[in-house]
Amino acid sequence: MAAVMSHRLRLPSALRLDAWLLLSLLLLIAVGLAVLYSAGEQRLGLVWQQSARLGLGLAVLVVMAYLPPRLLQIWAPWLFLAALGLLVATALFGVGRGAQRWLDLGFIRFQPAEAMKLALPLMLAAWYGRRPLPPGWRDTALGLLLIALPAGLIAMQPDLGTAVLVAASGLVLMFLAGLRWRLIVLLVAGAIAALPVLWVNLHAYQQSRVLTFLNPERDPLGQGWNIIQSKIAVGSGGLSGKGWQASTQSHLEFLPEPHTDFIFSVLAEEFGFVGVVAVLALYGLITLRALYMASQCRDAFGRLLAATIVTMFFLYMTVNVAMVSGLIPVVGVPLPLVSYGGTSAVTILAGFGLIMGLYSRRRFMDGS
Amino acid sequence: MNRPKSLGVLRDELTELTVIGGRFRWLSAAILIVLVLLTWRFAHLQLHQHELFAGRAEDNRIRLQVLPPNRGLILDRHGRVLAENRPAHRLVIVPERTPSIAETLDQLHDLIDLSADDLERFERQRQRSRRFQAVTLKPNLTAEQLARLAAHRHRLPGVEIEAYLTRYYHHPNALAHVIGYVGRMDERDLRRLPVERYRGTTHVGKSGIERHYEDLLHGFPGVKRVETNAQGRVLRVLEQTPPTPGRDLQLSIDLDLQLAAVEAMGPRAGAVVVLAIDSGEVLALVSKPGFDTNLFVHGISRQDYSALLADRQRPLFNRFLAGGYEPGSTVKPFLSLAGLDTGDITPTRRVFSNGYFQLPGHSRRFRDWRRGGHGWVDLELALAESVNVYYYQLAIDLGIDRIARELALFGFGRGTGIDLPGESSGVLPTRAWKRATFGEPWFPGETVITGIGQGFTVVTPLQLAHATAALAGRGYTAPPRLVGASEPARMVQHQQAHWEAVFRGMAATVHGSRGTARAIAADLPVQMAGKTGTAQVFGLPDDDDERRRLLEGDIPEHLRNHALFMGFAPLEAPRIALSVVVEHGGGGAGVAAPVAARVMSRALELGH
């Protein structure tokens, strides 16, 4: 009763959820479904499917929030090993056209690389949570090794984009743990120096994506098409947009994959700059709220893990939005919680569940 | 100095707090900067450059259209068209352009008859299609339907008639199991086939040649760049790459011979396979009954399909490729070769047939087909009269392992590798096979009946014809092919005298005064070697009185034995090998041999 009477937004504390964060997430999801309905050619089936996945994701969120963080810290190495094992299994028995990314368990097909997006930060946070920080050179070396193992396996699938993102999650965590600036400069310099080597080892389709990004007119009907059409969609939206379901770029089929990777272009076209700013603000709100919650966690484990999860969420959004506005090459990163697709939505909501669980057990109102 | 331990931990935590807290501030700053940058980027595109992009969106009228390729034709060996593409018309509806779907369907129903199948398929496709996409309501309109629709179309907005090409089979029944058919692409096809090559294609090979040579027949799609108005209507074609049509396929089948074989079979179910011995070319390939493959092209109606499934003769079943039959006495020539090789028999040594054979210490009697037996017979007579006792003894002398080895050399127990999907490998029983299949050891009685092609052995008509070709070629033949010839290869090696001894027996089967197939000799233009066979459908009881009663009475047709015949001609220089199976035809001599004679005569007449 007290919770209902109170003017402050609060959920029953037994649920260990954060009302503000949950509300912002639900708002984002609602906006996403509305755009999906328009981008997906008004096919209600598509919206229902996505709603079902998001519903599953929210259920996972509640469960994750309920899990005692202590347990997660203990399980971390085993979860990490399990995710690593799944990656090896995918390499051996995976399915997929060209690239082996999917594991088929008969009743469900999923990408083990997705699980690694949570398992790796968890593993690193559990490790650094027990070690003196900032990490010494030994802990730093071990951290880099723990990152390289799964990232390498994913890169071999080959799925370079996901490999980079998984590696990024590990590096973000190490940065937060206090990785020394000298080492950071060294790593960045090393990465730049490795670029030519990487370029030579890229698949032809990956090379052509980068070349096309640098000069879209190089292949105006092929891959440059995506970038050009997406920018036209965004730009033609103007200040207030063409209105819901009125985007010509996606409905006349100029925009590729309007319901998955390029859903933000549809939003920008239909709701204009106003809509873009509103949604970016929503992403910013979610990110900063979650980051604040992370900073309030009881120990290093919680803070590192929560902050990394939310940073990755923000990074996905940035990569996708930068891609559709032509700031970076076309990479297959969906817009978190908005693009049509299952596994990533569930992982992201699970991550937010973790953050809420950690925050609910913070220092000054520790219930246990 | 000893510091309390807790103090050390506290100090560490303080350091941690400072370090992590510092990094959090860095991170928050970075996030804000990124948000500002992204906002600035969108302000640039949407406010500053809005005019430019709004103009380009308005001009955005170049679209790509896919031009599906025409499917290759299928011809017989003389270039006669067996499968072609014919112009047809279909009734399509753009749901978004009709005022009311239900009303439009009602009006259309008054004009042309719409079946429940049509409506159901339309509904299903409508669920899956994009907006403003035409959905087929009725394919393959008749001239009358076209005329009626044309007269009323002005009253039916959103209803259109589309011209397209549809597959048409000229002899659908006779060639159903060879050519197969194309059908609408389903989910499985979509997963199996490369998306790019099948853009704009609706039909794909589902069985037979259409399926096996899908890759050659399909061709490659072309593209058309068109300029459209803002509603998406095409204004002009800017440039186009024409599609590359699929390749025409010339089959080795001779249509005349194929039709002759179908006719020779009459109303009976069964199979006929005719092979050219040197090249492996398949000259005729029949599975009876056939079915109308044209029904499948437009999606067979539920009623027609149930009728095909309910037919007792099982028209959809491909008998020459997947039909498994006991070879019966047609295995005797092959076993003879094995026996000559081991010395268990010679061309001249005689064996006495008293009507039955017993294993030492066993009471079961293995019978001759003639009551009282055949008396003294040599190899030639044993083949010509198909003397079971001769082969019971030979089988026991050879043993199941030697029998299996010989039959395997002639290709039994594995697919021939013909260019058709779904070939069965038959069964070539061995000790290991029985152990694996039944978990039981091999019994000597099973060896005895293997000697007359009964028991576990199962062959397909195609295997039997291929083995006959190998026999006729004295060990040399080529694997059967429908498209292009294959290289002949040695399959089996035997002494010339042994081949000739077996050939004499097979010639005597047809041309000898006591041969089981002597009735057909008069109908043949040249000498043919052959062997009759009977595959048991229903085992006869061992008791003599009951046997007689059953044999004298009328056995119902579906319990009658299958009749088999294999043979080759001309005897001196064999060119053609064939096999015939007539289901429930009774004995091979009575029913299968006359079919073989008619087919062989026709083949020779046609110059093969």
How far apart are alpha carbons B36 and A292 in whole angstroms?
20
Contact A177 B53 (CB under 8 A): no
Contact B27 A176 (CB under 8 A): yes
Contact A178 B46 (CB under 8 A): no
| B245 pLDDT above the threshold of 80 | yes
Residues of chain B in contact with residue A257, where contact means CB-CB under 8 angstroms, are none
Q: From its phi and psi, is residue A246 left (phi > 0), alpha (psi between -120 and 50) or beta?
A: alpha
Residues of chain A in contact with residue B54, where contact means CB-CB under 8 angstroms, are 235-236, 238
Residue in chain A closest to B8 (alpha carbons) equals A132
Count Cβ atoms below 10 Å from residue B58 Cβ, excluding itself. 12
pLDDT attached to residue B558: 65
Residue B220 burial by Cβ neighbours in a 10 Å radius (0-12, 13-18, 19+): middle
Q: CA of A255 to nearest chain B CA: how many angstroms apart?
A: 11
Which of B45, B65, B235 is best to mutate for the A interface (most A CBs within 10 A)?
Answer: B45
Among the partner-chain residues B20, B130, B225, the one whose CB lies closest to the CB of A41 is B130
Among the partner-chain residues A235, A311, A318, the one whose CB lies closest to the CB of B38 is A318
Which DSSP category does B198 fall into? G
Among the partner-chain residues B12, B24, B54, the one whose CB lies closest to the CB of A238 is B54
Q: List the domains of chain B with CATH numbers.
A: 65-250 (3.90.1310.10), 255-605 (3.40.710.10)
Residues of chain A in contact with residue B199, where contact means CB-CB under 8 angstroms, are none
Quick: pLDDT tens for B194-226. 877 888 888 999 999 999 999 999 999 888 877
Complex ipTM: 0.89
pTM: 0.61
pLDDT attached to residue B566: 96
| B458 pLDDT above the threshold of 60 | yes
Task: List Cβ neighbours of B412 (8 Å cut-off, separation of 6 or more).
Answer: B327, B426, B428, B457, B459, B463, B467
Count Cβ atoms below 10 Å from residue B194 Cβ, excluding itself. 10
Contact A229 B60 (CB under 8 A): yes
Q: CA of A353 to nearest chain B CA: how many angstroms apart?
A: 20
Contact (Cβ atoms closer than 8 angstroms) between residue B253 and residue B77: yes
Task: List Cβ neighbours of B545 (8 Å cut-off, separation of 6 or more).
Answer: none
Cis before B333 (ω within 30): no
Amino acid identity of residue B465, one-letter, is A
| B465 pLDDT above the threshold of 80 | yes
How far apart are alpha carbons A42 and A54 in whole angstroms?
19
Cβ contacts below 8 Å, chain A against chain B, sum to: 129
Contact (Cβ atoms closer than 8 angstroms) between residue B599 and residue B261: yes
CA dihedral A300, A154, A334, A328 (to 10 degrees): 90
> What does A210-238 look like in DSSP terms, one character per residue?
HHHHH-GGGSTTTHHHHHHHHHHHHHHHT
Q: What's the mean pLDDT when you consider all of chain B?
A: 87
Residue in chain B closest to A178 (alpha carbons) equals B19
Quick: pLDDT tens for B320-347. 999 999 999 999 999 999 999 999 999 9
Q: Which residues pair with B236 in a beta bridge?
A: B227
Contact B46 A300 (CB under 8 A): no
Structure tokens at B191: 């997963």
Contact (Cβ atoms closer than 8 angstroms) between residue B441 and residue B448: no
Contact B57 A300 (CB under 8 A): no
SS3 A355: helix
Closest C-alpha among B597, B406, B392, B428 to residue B515:
B597
Q: CA of A234 to nearest chain B CA: how many angstroms apart?
A: 6
Contact (Cβ atoms closer than 8 angstroms) between residue B476 and residue B346: no
Query: Which of A336-340, B257-261, B298-302, B491-495 is predicted least confidently?
Result: B298-302
Residues 207-226 of B with CB under 8 A from A: 225
Residues 1-40 of B with CB under 8 A from A: 12, 15-16, 19-24, 27-28, 31-32, 34-35, 38-39
Residue that wins the pLDDT comparison between A244 and B448:
B448
The label of the residue with tokens 């990152």 reads: A147
Amino acid identity of residue B251, one-letter, is L
- The distance from CA A334 to its chain's CA centroid, rounded to whole angstroms, is 8
Q: CA of A355 to nearest chain B CA: how many angstroms apart?
A: 15
Which of B11, B13, B14, B16 is best to mutate for the A interface (most A CBs within 10 A)?
Answer: B16
pLDDT attached to residue B349: 92
pLDDT attached to residue B365: 87
The parts of chain A modelled with pLDDT lower than 50 are 1-6, 97-98, 106-107, 365-368
Which of B13, B27, B225 is best to mutate for the A interface (most A CBs within 10 A)?
Answer: B27
Among the partner-chain residues A234, A252, A291, the one whose CB lies closest to the CB of B28 is A291
Contact A254 B50 (CB under 8 A): no
Query: How many residues in total does chain A contain?
Result: 368
Percentage of residues of chain B with pLDDT beyond 90: 59
Report how far apart, in Å, the C-alpha atoms of A24 and of each of A28, B30, B108 are. 6, 21, 52
Percentage of residues of chain B with pLDDT beyond 70: 91
> What does A52-97 look like in DSSP terms, one character per residue?
HHHHHHHHHHHHHHHS-HHHHHHHHHHHHHHHHHHHHHHHHH-B-S
- Where does B358-475 show beta strands of DSSP type E? 366-367, 375-377
pLDDT attached to residue B11: 44
The label of the residue with tokens 């112009």 reads: B87
Q: Using N-to-C axis directions, what is the helix angle for A112-130 and A343-360, rounded to 10°?
A: 20
Q: Give me the active site residues of B, please.
A: 329
Q: CA of A5 to nearest chain B CA: how many angstroms apart?
A: 34
Among the partner-chain residues A133, A232, A294, the one whose CB lies closest to the CB of B56 is A232
pLDDT attached to residue B2: 42
Residues of chain B in contact with residue A303, where contact means CB-CB under 8 angstroms, are 20, 24
Structure tokens at B189: 């096809």
